[in-house]
Amino acid sequence: MTKHKITNNFVCSILYLGINLLFILKYVPRVGNPVFACCAYAVIVALVLLIYNKIYKSDNRFTKISFWFLLGITLTGMFALQHFINPLSLQVDRWSAIHGFFNELFSGNYPYLARTHLGGYGSPFPVWQFFHLPFYLMGNISLAAVFSVIVLLTTVYIYTLSSRKTLFFLVLLFISPAFWYEITVRSDLMYNFFILLAVLLFLLKKQTNFAKHPYLSGILCGLFLSTRFTVIIPFIVLLFADFWQSSLKTKIIFALTTVFVFAFTFSPFIFWNFNSLMFFQYNPFILQTRQGSVFEVLIIFALSIFLSFRAGKNHDKFFCYSAYLLIALVVTTFLHNMILNGFQYGLFSPAYDITYFNMALPFIILVQSLKFVKSGVEP
């Protein structure tokens, strides 16, 4: 294995530990000793990796049984948390931003004026809202998290054709405090990127060529942009190098298709109440961009273009670079805001939402799941 690949795998391992330790350091002090918890977690991760390498040597029947057993435990845990924790008691309102949207919509009211159970307003864009419609009709929009986990694991298996790697992906998800925090508070942030990664893996598996499918690429970009803006980062890394080298006609088709699809998803709400969507001080565009500034956007955009050319057709680099850039966006935004506030608030204060680091976690876990083939451990 080359030095470059070793470095990326090592960095992703550190990022996996770092993100999860952040959650321990922020939330464990409410119930216990965070230093002890961090040490215990590091030991648990090390033991899991050691045991996994010792037991699971190939894609055999035992691996598949273990996968289904662990998946059953994971889904049971997710259902249990949703059943026993009253969502109205939570101090996180991402779930009610979606739930309230449909409550208002089916009452004949303008949905983007809906209030969350904490009195805020919802930021999800239309495609992400309507992704949750079946689960709302089932009585629990957070069932979308269960669906997303199943979809992602299915796609990981289709992409890798390896029970061992799919199991390892599930193992790293299962021992992630960041993942269980998202499930506990019914946040939709991480599983938005589960669905994104699942679609990207499917495209990579099918070797979808951007130059030959500009309409498809534009449609997908437009639809995912209508979930949340940050999904554009992996798309830039994946597509920009091909976009730059394609014909002018292909560039125009892709750009116009993306813009048209994105705008089309908002059209019902524009015609319904243009002023409330565009000029309301808490409209979804403002809510999704208020944490950052043009400065961070320009930096990340430039880096995304640069890394797109660096990644080329190398899938491993694409996954790594997407994770790095998503984390870089959060770090630069936090640092910028800290400087503006004179470092008045610490990282673990309510002023900074560390769950944004979870956008990168699916990509990081995938890199770790793929490393076994690359390192030669897989037979």
Inter-axis angle of helices 315-340 and 361-375, nearest 10: 140
Q: What is the pLDDT of residue 373?
A: 44
- The residues pairing with 121 across neighbouring beta strands, listed in sequence order, are 115
CB atoms within 10 A of CB 65: 12
CB atoms within 10 A of CB 167: 26
CB atoms within 10 A of CB 32: 11
Give CA–CA dist 78/80, Å, rounded.
5
**Phi-psi map region of 312: left, alpha, beta (phi>0 left; psi -120 to 50 alpha):** left
Contact criterion met (CB below 8 Å) for 174 and 70:
yes
Give CA–CA dist 172/336, Å, rounded.
31
What are the domain boundaries of the chain?
Answer: 3-375
Q: Give Cα 276 distance to the centre of its chain.
A: 29
∠ CA 129-151-288 to the nearest 5 degrees?
Answer: 30
Give CA–CA dist 161/144, Å, rounded.
25
Q: What is the pLDDT of residue 378?
A: 43
Contact criterion met (CB below 8 Å) for 168 and 367:
no
Alpha helices in the chain (DSSP H): 3-27, 34-55, 61-84, 94-105, 126-131, 133-137, 143-160, 163-174, 177-184, 189-205, 214-225, 232-245, 248-272, 274-278, 284-289, 294-311, 315-340, 361-375
10 Å CB burial of residue 370 (0-12, 13-18, 19+) is buried
Give CA–CA dist 254/302, Å, rounded.
20
Q: Which residues contact 112 (CB under 8 A, 6 or more apart)?
A: 101, 121, 122, 269, 273, 276, 277, 280, 283, 284
Inter-axis angle of helices 163-174 and 34-55, nearest 10: 170
**pTM score:** 0.93
| Burial letters 78-105, b for 16+ CB under 10 A, else e | beebbeeeebeebebbbbbbbbbbbebb
Q: What is the pLDDT of residue 57?
A: 73
- The residues pairing with 115 across neighbouring beta strands, listed in sequence order, are 121
Q: What is the DSSP track for 248-272?
A: HHHHHHHHHHHHHHHHHHHHHHHHH
Give CA–CA dist 87/84, Å, rounded.
9
Q: What is the DSSP track for 233-251?
A: HHHHHHHHHHHHHS-HHHH
Judged by DSSP in three states, 86 sits in coil
Q: What is the pLDDT of residue 374?
A: 47
Q: Which residues contact 375 (CB under 8 A, 6 or more apart)?
A: 1, 9
Q: Which residues contact 114 (CB under 8 A, 6 or more apart)?
A: 97, 100, 101, 103, 104, 121, 122
Q: What is the pLDDT of residue 249?
A: 93
Give CA–CA dist 163/156, Å, rounded.
9
Residue with tokens 């673990």: 348
**Tens place of pLDDT per residue across the chain (379 aa):** 444 445 788 889 899 999 999 999 988 877 677 888 899 999 999 898 888 877 877 778 888 999 999 999 999 999 999 989 998 888 888 999 999 999 999 999 999 999 999 988 988 999 999 999 999 999 999 999 999 999 999 999 999 999 999 999 999 999 999 999 999 999 999 999 999 999 999 999 988 877 788 999 999 999 999 999 999 999 999 999 999 999 999 999 999 999 999 999 999 999 999 888 888 888 888 888 887 778 888 899 999 999 999 998 899 999 999 999 999 999 999 998 888 888 877 788 888 889 999 999 999 999 999 875 444 444 3
